Amino acid sequence: MNRFQFIGIWSLAWGIPWVLIGCEVKPQPQGKSETVIVPQPPENPSPEPISAENIAQASQHRQLGLDYRQQERYEEAIAQFQKSVTLDPHNLSGQVLLGWTLHLTGQEVRAAQILQTALVQDPSHEPALNALGIVYLVQGDLTAAVKTHTQAVELNPDNEIAHYNLSLAYQRLQQSELAIAHGLRATELEPENPHPWVALAIAYWSSTDPSAAAQAYQRAIELDDRYHESAFLDHLKLAGFSLEQIQLTNQVRQAR
């Protein structure tokens, strides 16, 4: 399973829908983030072991939480994931599941705190970095999103999710060259996914290269012909696009 499926389908590992959220989040003003990007190492390098019984019970709660989330019973899912984390606080997948589901319900501050806690235990945990970066991006905290996804790319240069979201973040920051570079890399790593091609199209459009923008958008249409339709573009808000970026996408579509 590729990394875009981490946020692309209901995966067995995470159960996270493509691409970002099922709720709308108001962006935060840039420059007002109080988040901590680089986690500090844990004070206790040798945490107390968790009993086998607690580990087994935590696993059951995680699975039940995933079942609830697939049914969009988010509050019940959160309760199960919280029980899982309480029973087995060293299980990072449980923390990521809890953080992401909080994000789905619009509880962004708490979601970020949970994901940061996971990164304190393991600063190189790629799923936690991906999820936290997406939380920041959707909130509109672009500086934090860039820093977090850059950490992910430094750890794994082939992280498609990080490159894709960096392209979107840099486009919003009006840094077109970086938006194009990360967009190109995302399309190389996930060529059959239309979203990176659309992100690349608006990056080219912002750099005043309409020809390249049209070519990238045409590739998205070849992968999913619904991109011919203006109404279909609304789904891009679930793929991390801001409202302004969706409007820009429509300009690219009309100019082809």
Delimit the domains of the chain by residue range.
1-25+51-156, 176-256
In whole angstroms, give the CA distance from residue 1 to residue 37: 28
By C-alpha distance, which of 188, 187, 189, 207 is closest to 197? 187
CATH fold label, 176-256 = 1.25.40
- The predicted model scores a pTM of 0.79
pLDDT tens, the chain, 256 aa long = 344 434 432 233 333 333 333 333 334 444 444 444 545 545 555 567 889 999 999 999 999 999 999 999 999 999 999 999 999 999 999 999 999 999 989 898 999 999 999 999 999 999 999 999 999 999 999 999 999 999 999 999 999 999 999 999 999 999 999 999 999 999 999 999 999 999 999 999 999 999 999 999 999 999 999 999 999 999 999 899 999 999 999 999 999 8
How far apart CA 42 and CA 222 sit, in angstroms, is: 48
Domains 1-25+51-156 and 176-256 belong to one CATH topology: yes
- Write down the architecture of domain 1-25+51-156 according to CATH: Alpha Horseshoe (1.25)
CA distance 66 to 126: 20
**Cis bond upstream, residue 96 (ω within 30):** no
CA–CA gap between residue 123 and residue 152 (Å, rounded) = 10
